[in-house]
Structure 1
Amino acid sequence: MLRRLKTVLIVLVVGLCSCAPVTREANQDVQQADTHYKLAMAHLQSRNPTLALKELLIAVKQDPENSSIHVALAQAYQLKKAFPQAETHYLKALDLDNNEPRYQNNLASLYLEMEEWEKAIHYFDLAANNLLFANAHVAVAGQAYAYFKKNDFNTALDYATKAIKMSPRYASAYYLKSEIYHEMGNVDQEKYSLQRAISVAPQFIRARYQLAILLLQEKSVDEAVDQLKIILEVSPSSELGQKASSILKTLPDS
């Protein structure tokens, strides 16, 4: 509130004292920054954070108050496992953009990678409770994962269930519940959660692979073979596709 008031006062003072126009050089800097930013985003989409970083370091010098550039910088640093630098730029983006919930969610995800569980829970909570955040269920599932990593399985289940209630077709939350139940030794609920994940996302091959492993442990070979064959159909060259192929070769009549 104080910062907003200060900004308003500055604007009023400038308005009373002079009408200083934005210089052509400043406009050119912003335009050039936007060009470098767009190039960086293309590099990020092609999973080349090094080239993205080169463009973004130029962009941020030309337009240092642009929150989108700081977020992109944070993402590039995060992909390069430069976590302290990523944290710095996420926090700067939040400062510039009045605690935008997408940035809070991104920062929380970074804290998951850093294994800073309490910080992750805090920022996921901020994002989840922001009425302007369109993907609040993702933040709630993030809280569930953080509690899971803290070995607080009951709380993790509560948040995963909450995420599913908010978005019943969010397959990742069902898969997370399967992982939690696995650690709790509840095989029946683990299996059920995997089946639910597959029912809402048929091409969720990791869920199919884990279900196949469970079925093999239960000696339900035919059902396991069905899951493994679907994995091969969907993603034959992936790591899980190759694992599925190797398992099938060891099974009779498959």
Structure 2
Amino acid sequence: MKSFALLTTVSLISLSTLATVRPVMALESRQPAETRIAQGNNQDAIGHYNRGIDYIQQEKYDLALAEFTKAININPRYAEAYLNRGFLYEQQEKPDLALSDYNQAININPRLAEAYNNRGFLYAEQGKPDLALSDFNQALNINPRLALAYSNRGLLYRQQEKPDLALAEFNKALNINPRFAEAYYNRGTLYYEQGKADLALSDYNQAININPREAQAYANRGVLYYSRQETEKAIGDFRQAAELYRRQGNAAAYEKVMEILRELGAV
């Protein structure tokens, strides 16, 4: 029987105020009306920012990026706009632009925990674990309730083969936010690697119940089902993951899952 590796569990940067999507969006909430009034001359900048948030919700990322840029052009001190534009640059695989925007957000507002979290994730992707850990620690020093930073720090510990520390971080994230789908599938992957398939399956199921659009949870649950020789269930999950990845424009992950389906003779 063939074996398949679990897809890498990436906690991009989830939305902090919208649904937990692939990380990686530590997006700030839309600016409330009272803030608009208080900001006075910055009302136009806030309007563009809010439209950017709307476009993010609609998955119109190019339009969102344009709106955040307009907000920054009007108010070059708009830290949250830099944060969200940096996230979008990261999604476009433009790490230098993303890093520049995260640095700018932190320079403007050194207490913006989400900016440290996002920069830490970027450093982790670049193979700079010490810088990543420092940023995750700083994010949590500023906001000890930032569940995403615990989950990201857990991923870092997992990559460093420190499973006990990783598990503790995922548990902290879930204690803070029991609806954090990404933390469930991250913990599920850790359980799977430890040979605790029942616990892993429970966590994957929970992740999918919370967020039925979480492609990675379907993909990893498919791997688990296949390891149990439950091939039809595995194929169903791989197909669902592939369709979600296709809709999300994640070509690399889509091709990886389609390769598995082809090996199974399911396409």
- TM-score of the two chains, using structure 2 as the length reference: 0.62
**Structure having the higher Rg:** 1
Matched, 1:225 2:237: no
Structure ranking higher in helix proportion:
1
Maintained 8 Å contact 1:172/1:197: no
Matched, 1:198 2:210: no
Report 1:3-42 matches (<5 A): 30-42=42-54
Distance 1:114 1:51, change over 3 A: farther
Residue identity matched to 1:130: I
Q: Secondary structure at the match of 2:188?
A: helix
Matched, 1:144 2:154: yes
1:84 to 90, 96, 111: 96
Q: Secondary structure at the match of 2:142?
A: coil
2:182 match: 172
Partners of 1:76 and 1:236 lie apart in 2 by 23
Percent sequence identity over matched residues? Answer: 20
1:91-138 CA-partner distances (Å, limit 9, x unpaired) = 22223234122332232233333333222222222223435x65x222
Partners of 2:188 and 2:48 lie apart in 1 by 43
2:223 to 213, 217, 222: 213
Maintained 8 Å contact 1:44/1:76: no
1:60 match: 72
Residue identity matched to 1:196: D
For structure 2, the 5+ residue unaligned runs are: 1-39, 246-253
2:83 match: 71
Choose between structure 1 and 2 for higher RCO, CA contacts under 8 A separated by at least 6 residues. Answer: 2
Report 1:180-195 matches (<5 A): 180-183=190-193, 186-187=194-195, 189-195=196-202
Q: Secondary structure at the match of 1:65?
A: coil
Maintained 8 Å contact 2:68/2:81: yes
Equivalences, count: 215
CA drift at 1:56: 3.9
For structure 1, the 5+ residue unaligned runs are: 1-26
1:238 match: 244
CA drift at 1:90: 1.7
Maintained 8 Å contact 1:148/1:156: yes
Maintained 8 Å contact 2:191/2:199: no
2:107 to 92, 95, 104: 95
Maintained 8 Å contact 1:177/1:190: no
- TM-score of the two chains, using structure 1 as the length reference: 0.64
2:135 to 123, 126, 141: 123
Residue identity matched to 2:98: A
CA drift at 1:42: 4.4
CA drift at 1:144: 0.6
Give me the CA root mean square deviation.
3.7
Q: Secondary structure at the match of 1:180?
A: helix
1:161-205 CA-partner distances (Å, limit 9, x unpaired) = 33334444534223223333455xx32x14422323314643355
Residue identity matched to 1:172: E
Maintained 8 Å contact 2:188/2:203: no
1:62-102 CA-partner distances (Å, limit 9, x unpaired) = 31122222223322322222222222222222232341223
